Amino acid sequence: MGILNVFLQAFSSTFLLGALTVLLLIYLISSASFSTQDPPGPRPLPLFGNLLQMNLKRPYKTLLELSKKYGSVFTVYLGPQKVVVLAGYKTVKEALVDYDEVFGDRDPILIVHQMNHGNGVVWSNGDSWKEMRRFALTNLRDFGMGKRACEDKIIEECQYLIEVFKKFKGEAFDTNQRLSYAVSNIICSIVYGSRFEYNDPEFTSLVDRMSRAAKLLGSPSVQMYNMCPALLSWIGARKELLEMSATSSKQNLGIFSHLKETLNPQMCRGFVDAFLLRKQTLEVGISVTCQVCSLKLLTEAQGETTSTTLRWGLLLMAKYPKIQDEVQEELTRVIGDRQVQVADTKSLPFTDAVIHEIQRLSSIVPTGIPHKTTEDIIFQGHSIKKGTTVFPLLTSVLHDPKEWERPHSFYPAHFLDNEKKFAKRDAFIPFSAGRRICLGESLARMELFLFFTTLLQHFRFTPAPGVSEDELDLTPAVGFTLSPLPHKL
């Protein structure tokens, strides 16, 4: 037995020494292969890359720190994957707008690719993406996105939400689910042709899965899986995400099939009907599976991002009551008791500035959605190869000290000129920029304005009893989007 132990120990030591030698050789070879024109960055370890340096709960914070050391264009290795990070307004704008063809492809996150198989207008590339985006934009506009018909839907939904808030009779409650249901109903009414009741289990399960998926996508375990899939395919979060995605796809397919069975060519109810009626005229064939995936992503992304921004807005109003006072004073003076409309935006410069500042400060998609280069390019003196993953660090733009007077403070004056009129800022790009700018930007802007102003007309938001304004925590929760920590107002 003693001899066996010695043998095993010797074998283990020899194996470990050999493994370390191989890793060292990989490290030396990879180090020697670096081009002096490559964007600089921290030296990666073999296989692990810069994993040990990353804050996996909030990776954007690590990237911001690295940008201070290595500049606005730098390289990190997420496991073995090379990623070029773009930081600061001028650099991100140059890449996404001035060189949009080169930086315009999408690089799917591994777990997302496994969930959607590369389908959908958000993650696809090439002719299929162009045709789907063109079709989606045309028909979403036809069904009211950014128009009066859509405004009426949002105003109607605001009334349902007000009644829900009134039921709490001033007692503290979590706004999360209620806002998610209200916002998700808007895109559902555009896509499917009708809204859902807030107690409809089919609807609530769809929205609740969306919120859960956003948290899991940004969790450390899923990020580790994306970097080292061969080692971590067993993790529970991956299995849960795949199961939730399959359930949502099945649910959307069921709604899709029902709409197909009840289709009336004389009465187009929504986006799905438009797809079914015009599918034969598309230049590139888009399968039902692909379209269902697009619809799933549209409803999930639109509902999650807009409701999260509104939650930040109400939390910030409770934390900064003097700003809430100014918003409500402006609403009372300009609007009175009537319903706010989009046409009132120019007459409400302070309120509009507050909404923009909520979006800027919350920066809910801090790293942006990954891009990929379509060809080799020399960018700001650095060589970036075709097919390289690129992170446009949106939070570095929205918090760029060269562009914003108080980048890390809630300061609505960022969007006001000397005459207290609303002032646009070039560095305000929460929806990204270039050819991959958010498909639902116009809808999101309308939703944020109408929901926020209507709620502030009817309610005053304060911390829960026993919690001071100073105790309201603005630290974001861990997730793919940065949402507030659980709280009650």
Q: Which residues are annotated as a binding site for heme?
A: 438
> What's the distance, Cα to Cα, between the start and end of the chain in Å?
67
DSSP assigned state of 347: G
> CA 355 to CA 360: how far, in whole Å?
9
Residue 74, classed as helix, strand or coil, is strand
What is the identity of the amino acid at 383?
S
Residues at the binding site are 438
Pairing of strands 389-392, 81-86: parallel
* CA-derived radius of gyration, the chain: 25
The DSSP line for 476-489 is BPSSSS--BPS---
> CA 227 to CA 442: how far, in whole Å?
34
CB 405 within 8 A of CB 416: no
Least Cα distance to 410 among 363, 477, 462 occurs for 363
Residue 317's alpha-carbon distances to 100, 227, 284, 309, in angstroms, are 37, 39, 47, 12
> CA 73 to CA 67: how far, in whole Å?
8
E strands present in 40-147: 73-78, 81-86, 105-106
Least Cα distance to 157 among 329, 430, 339 occurs for 339
Pairing of strands 382-384, 73-78: unpaired
> CA 456 to CA 329: how far, in whole Å?
10
Q: Which residues pair with 388 in a beta bridge?
A: none
Least Cα distance to 354 among 300, 408, 289, 411 occurs for 411
> CA 11 to CA 31: how far, in whole Å?
30
Continuous segment of H or E residues that includes residue 407: none
The tokens of 378 are what? 């020399």
The DSSP line for 179-237 is HHHHHHHHHHHHHHSS---TT-HHHHHHHHHHHHHHHHHTSHHHHHHHH-HHHHTT-HH
> CA 240 to CA 228: how far, in whole Å?
18
